[in-house]
Amino acid sequence: MENSKELRTWLDNFGLDHPLVIAGPCSAETEDQLLKIAHELKETDTTVLRAGIWKPRTRPGNFEGVGALGLKWLQKAKAETGLLTATEVANKDHVKLALEHDIDILWIGARTTVSPFIVQEIADALEGTDKIVLVKNPVNPDLALWLGAIERLYTANIKNLGVIHRGFSTYEKTRYRNNPNWQIPIELQNRFPDLPLICDPSHIAGRRDIIFDICQTALDLNFDGLMIETHYDPDNAWSDAKQQITPETLKRMTVDLKIRKETDTEADYQNALATLRTQIDVIDHQLIETLGKRMQIADKIGELKKEKNVAILQTKRWNEILGKMILEGDERGLSEEFVLRIFKAIHQESINHQEKIIKS
Ligand code: PEP
Ligand code: MN
């Protein structure tokens, strides 16, 4: 797949002066629920109404969607509000039904993008379509798998494409439901700057209170749009209750979010600079997180050494680490002096941590 302006024609054709907003419930629950939400969203910046009809849940036993019946409700919502419609498709039968009901945007979910077999099945079923197809990142942090899914669709002559960043699952619990790993969508954006990139803060956050900040980071990184789960009664939603917000909150959020507009060369420069600075902020945040984790391991070593009554400073091991890091640093264009200074500081902090443990 080549990067080309053509990739974003569908988005440009919307003619929006703000990022694209896709909003709606995690799941279509009842006709009344979907219509009520659609009418409330009509009063916001929303262009596209989303609703899950078939819900792939990680564990069985949760609400698994109303099925094809919900497609009729989406059609009715579109007729009444003029909002475009979007739903998730996870196999060729879903594709057939969604096309029969003239759904405007089909998205491939995170649990589907992981499987090249199913992605190919969907690509074949959609061959040559002029519908818009959005690909969520796979649940695991694998850029090649994400790109592979987009390439399969592109090769099936589907040209109205976009991607949705919804975070990556991790074994360890973090403040996010799905870790954003911003460097992955950033890399995708560097390779395909014209491929529309949409952020789904709801599935990244898994909770309401950090959705705004995730949206702001995405916009600062030049994302083209947001997909936000929205329900008039989030606490009683049948799926993903903790992460949904009301249309009212969405409206306030879109007013409060800072959006950069490209208007002239000075604005372009400011925009490019701000995007790069946000990328730096993301990496700095990761540096601190990584250093914190390193010190937690140092604490554990401190406990072991205390038990065995062993000296903290082990010169041989330390010299080995330094030698390796200087070589690795050199491969990445970091000077020996810089690597030495950084690692001396890290080592000192490790020693301080271990001393604290041993004296406790
Ligand atoms: C969803 O959008 O409701 C959904 C199931 O998302 P994901 O595929 O990102 O988990
Ligand atoms: Mn959901």
Local structure of residue 27 (DSSP, 8 states) = B
Q: Give the helix, strand, coil percentages of the chain, each rounded to 5.
A: 55, 10, 35
Expressed in angstroms and rounded, the spacing between residue 238 Cα and the centre of ligand 2 is 10
**pLDDT exceeds cutoff 90 at 267:** no
273 three-class SS: helix
Top pLDDT among 27 and 319 is at 27
For residue 139, which ligand has an atom nearest its CA?
1
Q: What is the pLDDT of residue 109?
A: 98
Q: How far apart are CA 106 and CA 135, in angstroms?
A: 9
Q: Is residue 52 helix, strand or coil?
A: strand
Determine the pLDDT at residue 192.
94
Homologous superfamily of domain range 266-359: Chorismate mutase (1.20.59.10)
CA 64 to ligand 1 center in whole angstroms: 12
Give CA–CA dist 250/357, Å, rounded. 47
Tell me the pLDDT band of 261, cut-offs 50, 70 and 90. Answer: low
Pairing of the two strands 20-24 and 48-50: parallel
Domain positions in the chain are 4-259, 266-359
Ranges 12-21, 53-62, 69-78, 180-189: which has the least confidence: 53-62
Q: Has residue 260 got a pLDDT over 90? A: no
CB-defined site of ligand 1, < 6 Å: 26, 52, 109-111, 136, 166, 203
Q: Where are the beta strands (DSSP E) in the chain?
A: 20-24, 48-50, 84-88, 105-108, 132-136, 161-165, 197-199, 225-229
Mutate to test the pocket of ligand 1, among 88, 105, 176 (most ligand atoms within 8 A of CB): 88
pLDDT above 80 for 313: no
Question: In this structure, which residues have their CB less than 5 angstroms from ion ligand 2?
Answer: 26, 240
pLDDT for position 108: 98
Pairing of strands 48-50, 161-165: unpaired
Q: What is the CA radius of gyration of the chain?
A: 24
Q: How high is the pLDDT of residue 325?
A: 94
pLDDT in tens, 85-116: 999 999 999 999 999 999 999 999 999 999 99
pLDDT confidence bin for 309, thresholds 50/70/90: confident
Q: What's the mean pLDDT when you consider all of the chain? A: 93
- What pLDDT is attached to residue 79? 98
- CA–centroid distance, residue 244 to ligand 2 (Å): 8
SS3 221: coil
Question: In angstroms, what is the span from residue 150 Cα to ligand 2's centroid?
Answer: 22
In CATH terms, are 4-259 and 266-359 the same topology? no
Nearest alpha carbon, ligand 1 atom 6: 109
Q: Is 255 left (phi over 0), alpha (psi -120 to 50) or beta?
A: alpha
| pLDDT tens-digit map of 315-353 | 888 889 999 999 999 999 999 999 999 999 999 899 889
pLDDT in tens, 43-91: 999 999 999 999 977 777 788 899 999 999 999 999 999 999 999 999 9
* CATH number of 4-259, picked from 3.40.630.10, 3.40.50.720, 3.20.20.70, 1.10.390.10: 3.20.20.70
Identify which of 22, 26, 214 to mutate to test ligand 1's pocket (most ligand atoms within 8 A of the CB).
26
Taking the CA of residue 55 as reference, the ligand 1 atom at the shortest distance is 5
